[in-house]
Amino acid sequence: ARPLEAGTSRRRLPNCTGVLVRSSADIAHGYDALLSRTRSLAAQPWAADVVHLVFHERSLGAEHRRAIAARSPLPLEFIDVSATFERGEREVSRWRASASPNAACPLRLPGWKRDGYQSMCYFWFIDVVAYVKERCGVMLRVDDDVILLEDVPPKGGEGGEGE
């Protein structure tokens, strides 16, 4: 891609947050976790200024999406990403590491569900670009284990000089 030349402009895309809801197998826990993350996001001063994307599989039906949206403190945009997770082991494994330079870091752990984890990694590092490149300027990925703390202004107050 060439840098923008003087005098040219692009439309400014909104910033986004993105969460992945893998499946509805554990509906109650999944909804609670998603809504907890959404409440955490809603407490941020910038939350109203960004688009909140929920990537999901087909198993999260319209009725479930409506129920989640009704309980969410923020407007959510649901995007079906089933194609990534229906791709299967053969396609996803093309991107898997074939060797580890560190013997203490095995490529496969006992009991590891390779297909699901690899599909999730494939989504976040490859497929997500197709879903957000025309939709978001910058996207903050918010995983299950993310904890958002209160916004802390710089020393000296809002936008002030540090001490």
Local structure of 121: helix, strand or coil = helix
Q: Which residues pair with 68 in a beta bridge?
A: none
Q: Please state at what angle helix 27-42 crosses helix 62-71, rounded to 10 degrees.
A: 40
What global pTM score does this model have?
0.70
Q: What is the pLDDT of residue 32?
A: 82
Domain-by-domain residue ranges, the chain? 16-96+111-141
Answer for the pair 23, 116: CB distance below 8 angstroms, yes or no. no
Structure tokens at 47: 């939350």
By C-alpha distance, which of 89, 159, 158, 147 is closest to 117? 89
134-147: pLDDT as tens digits: 889 999 999 877 87
Q: What is the pLDDT of residue 1?
A: 42
Q: What is the pLDDT of residue 53?
A: 96
61-120: pLDDT as tens digits: 888 899 899 999 999 999 998 887 776 555 545 555 555 555 555 555 455 455 667 778
Asked if the model's pLDDT at residue 160 lies above 50, the reply is no
